[in-house]
Structure 1
């Protein structure tokens, strides 16, 4: 718990250091599973030390994605601080349960993590212990490999552009479904650059295939967002008028993204 709290302090202070990476590995890959194991099996006779370590790594790899899945269905989503908080909370709760259950056992029967290591010969070890050690090494190797691949993908990132239209209040589903002739209603248009480079965008507004307005040029660096209110109006009554927004980038003639709405124009 001390290591976990210290890591949380480092992250909250924005300290990017090798120490933070070193502490983050057991925080994600070991602590959740170890505290869950000790909560379920608090006694010495319940399970041996090697088995506990292997199970701790395995359970951590299973538990952390499940916590991320829970976060994905909350308003906070999967990002640094929500993940830090939920893993810290899980580890804390499991630790308290572990302490509570161990206090109910006689002192000599409580399992405690031992830092005294011996060096038995490989051939002298029981066959099950050798299998578990190989499994543990494989779990650690896979975990570190996954971490490395994830870090590389985060540096490279996917290449795409977000393009969206919302209602005037900035909400999905709040689109204008009806207009009166010569009346203007607003929609909320957004462009987010994830192209890993600087991009110049243009947006064309069309009504039933006829060009009505150009919006741009919109120059965005990678990660930047442009948002603005766009007015829609029509001079003649029509049922199911198609309102199109065509997004192009870097002067290309073929639309890169397109969105359309259907609007009834009343007299």
Structure 2
């Protein structure tokens, strides 16, 4: 307990030593990662509410901090009778941060799309978080290499003082309230666009499930399924799942060979042989394929090769009636 407390205090001192704006960036990045990792909040609207402003602004702010470590200071030089200044002011940084974030986020998405990870909202936000932390480390190093009087810093104490004085001045209270309404309206508009871009959930959450077999040229197709087997003969099939649930989802796939009879206009399983069980966990929009051998030992005609899919765990008695998705093939198995 004592070691954990010392480590927490040391982490607090390191964060306290960061410039105010970059400390805020680190805190927001930590919150974003937590909303993705923690099961309590990763399926709520809080995830989108935090991730959207993060993706639209924070990566750009961190990149601008790396490129422009100087503050906005007048140099005293004159060009055409005007005073020249170096660095960027707050408004320039904010505008440039939105622009660079909009440029950086698609690049990260393109890299992920070309990688085995795939283009999923959680993967994009997590990758952006890692990039932001790297940029913050570089930005801190660059600022500390400059004299303190020329480093960029956020004058938040002046803002708080000015806000307190303006709120209690009758002649400016209405202006302040109007400015706040306009600012909130702009944030809501930008957030709505970002929500559609980062979390484009369309339709009812669902999952696709299918079986594939190889044709004569070796390509996987949804046809040419094997129908004739010899006992203990091995033939290959491929089972596939496309996660369209919009969240990371674990699945259980149970493969059985059933002998069925028609009784009272309903199908009854009279004998069953368990062949396989798979338990993939798929991120949002991820596709999973699994090639597997089918080697039946049960003999008979019109045997039902049954694939049962469940979200999370399968029940003790998996059936077609309680499965989330299912697929069935009718096969004949002969003796050797």
Shorter-chain TM-score tier: 0.5 to 0.7
* Counterpart mapping for 1:42-191 below 5 A: 42-44=69-71, 45-115=86-156, 116-117=158-159, 140=187, 143-149=190-196, 153-156=200-203, 163=210, 165-167=212-214, 173=219, 185-188=235-238, 190=240
Contact 2:70–2:151 (8 Å) recurs in 1: yes
Please state if 1:3 is matched with 2:9.
Answer: no
Structure 1 residue 103, shift from structure 2 partner: 1.1
Structure 1 residue 38, shift from structure 2 partner: 0.6
Tell which structure's C-alpha radius of gyration is larger: 2
Distance change (3 Å), C-alpha of 1:138 and 1:156: same
Distance change (3 Å), C-alpha of 1:60 and 1:19: same
Structure 1 residue 163, shift from structure 2 partner: 4.8
SS at match of 1:108: coil
Structure 1 residue 215, shift from structure 2 partner: 7.3
Per-residue Cα deviation, 1:15-59 (whole angstroms, up to 9, x for no partner)? 335654443233211110000001011101321110100111111
Residues of 2 paired with 1:225 and 1:31: CA distance? 41
Quote the residue 1:245 is aligned against.
none
Residues of 2 paired with 1:217 and 1:151: CA distance? 37
Specify every segment of 5 or more residues in structure 2 that has no aligned partner in the other structure, as ranges.
1-25, 72-85, 167-182, 246-301, 312-322
Question: TM-score, normalised to structure 1's length?
Answer: 0.54
- Compute the RMSD of aligned alpha carbons: 4.6
Residues of 2 paired with 1:161 and 1:6: CA distance? 32
Contact 2:212–2:239 (8 Å) recurs in 1: yes
Count of residue pairs brought into register by the alignment: 195
Contact 2:59–2:104 (8 Å) recurs in 1: yes
Structure 1 residue 231, shift from structure 2 partner: 7.4
Structure 1 residue 105, shift from structure 2 partner: 0.9
Structure 1 residue 160, shift from structure 2 partner: 9.7
Per-residue Cα deviation, 1:165-191 (whole angstroms, up to 9, x for no partner)? 2559xxx8579x9x9x99874332557
Residues of 2 paired with 1:152 and 1:30: CA distance? 16
Structure 1 residue 153, shift from structure 2 partner: 4.7
Distance change (3 Å), C-alpha of 1:99 and 1:70: same
Residues of 1 paired with 2:154 and 2:241: CA distance? 53
Distance change (3 Å), C-alpha of 1:111 and 1:193: closer
Structure 1 residue 8, shift from structure 2 partner: 1.5
Distance change (3 Å), C-alpha of 1:166 and 1:98: farther
Residues of 1 paired with 2:50 and 2:207: CA distance? 33
